Amino acid sequence: MSGSKLIVKSSEEMRAARERGESRSDWDDVRRKIREGVEPEADPDAPDATALLEEEIAHRRAGRPAGSGNKEQVSIRLDRNVLAAFRATGKGWQTRMNDALSDWLKHHSPNQTGRR
C-alpha cells in the first residue's frame, strides 16, 4: 500500500462529508451491486474478500478448543491461601496446581488418609 494514506473519520464526519458532496464512494454503484447481488470477490476493488471471509468462518468453531480428553472438570474447596498462592503465579496457575498434585502422587500413595 505504498503511496496510500489512511484517513480515519467518525461516522458523523463521514455523513457530513457525504452531505457536502465530498464522499469518494460511488453510492449509486454500491446500491446497484447490492441490488444485483454482486459479491465482493466479483468486485475488482475487493478481490476474494467474500471467499476469504467464508473460508475463515468455516474454520472457526464456537466455544473453547477441544481438550486432551485426559482431564475432568470438578468442583473442589481449597484454602484461600493455597488458591491465592497459585493464582499469584500468573497465567497457567491451574496447570501448575495440577502438576503439583501429580508430583505429590509420585511420592505418596493415594490411599493414604491424612486429615488435619
Q: Is the pLDDT of residue 105 over 80?
A: yes
- Domain boundary assignment for the chain: 25-58, 77-108
DSSP secondary structure letters along 19-52: HTT---S-HHHHHHHHHHT--GGGSTTSTTHHHH
* Integer Cα distance of 83 and 110 in angstroms: 21
**Cα distance between residue 60 and residue 53, in whole Å:** 11
Average pLDDT rounded to a whole number, residues 7-32? 81
- Per-residue pLDDT reduced to its tens digit, 24-69: 777 788 788 888 887 665 556 665 666 777 777 777 777 777 777 8
Could you tell me the pTM of the whole model?
Answer: 0.42
More confident residue, 38 or 10: 10
For range 7-13, the mean pLDDT: 83
Q: Does residue 4 have a pLDDT over 60?
A: yes
Whether residue 97 has pLDDT greater than 60: yes
